[in-house]
Structure 1
Amino acid sequence: MDTVDNVTEWVNEYSDELYAWALKRTQNVHLSEDLVQDTFVAAYQSIERYKGESSPKTWLHSILKHKMLDHFRKEKVKEKYENQSAFFQKNESWDKHNNPTLWSTMDVTLLDNPGFNDALASCLDKLPQKWKTAVVGKYLTDKKAGDICKELSITTSNYWQIVHRAKLNLRNCIEHNWFQE
């Protein structure tokens, strides 16, 4: 059996299982599909290093795990450099062009408005995955901070920083996509 046949057989046999495993951990359909695809590409490119000491399934899971770790490392670096400077001046006060507008506290039915919910969902989808998970956990499913920290494998201080940054981004997005319509 040649290399192409091996990889083709593995794709047919292990794709669904690898995808389910990735989806459970990322909770993102497209990311999971990409990671599984990258796993098979990497397996094909490095098949000469596969010694058969473990099952193909174990080897593929190992590749997928490393692909996932690489992805989240890159995301973490990207998170650090998200453009928060757009909200603040150098002296850390609000930038006058991005100063938050006052939202009406009288509109208590805002969450009953389908248009607002669509705008909120769209804005949540624009957040990095960890930010979205933290905000949804804290504000929409009432999870405790400690539980969210465990789920995301982050420290408490990192959690509060993520929530703060996510709220700034959500506020800005909602102001541009809902209140200025």
Structure 2
Amino acid sequence: MEVKKGNTTIVFENWVNQFSDALYSWALYKTSSKETAEDLVQDTFVSAFHKIDNFKGQSQPKTWLFSILNNKIIDYYRKNAKIKKHEFKLSEKAGFQLSDNLFNETNGWKTREIDPIWDQEEELLDNPEFNGVMAACIDNLPEKWKTAITSKYLTDKKAKEICQDLGITVSNYWQIVHRAKLLLKECLETNWV
């Protein structure tokens, strides 16, 4: 559904009426703050209004609005995160080292204890401070790795589409995702715990 110039205001008002509650619920779930959720939804609609002429109807309006909101949420946490970047460098080299350190000299898995922080996964995802550190860790990844992770987990793109976007093979994509997750784990354990 491409938006026509004369119908822009009517279409936009319908979207506000249709999707405000769903967007607000999602923002509240992700931030645990009514005021922040309201601000993020408002910012989402302002951005959408300014970009409405670019909406070509290749996705549902709700999907488009949620992608704008998700970016606003990420920006919110990124801005509020307190990662000491000078103390923790996320690089491809560090990702390769983490990946290599999973195996012993005979190429068997090293046994490693799991940090008890990961036993509280559900509570962590509802914690605004944790989400801030997570957003900052994602932002600190090497660019290609950040794109792979955000495309896979925040926009739910399929692997084939992500590979095309990045110009990489499927096996390279899975290696990047694996190493990026290892770096994120290390970053979270360093900056959150």
TM-score range, shorter chain: 0.3 to 0.5
Q: Which has the larger radius of gyration?
A: 1
Q: TM-score w.r.t. structure 2 length?
A: 0.45
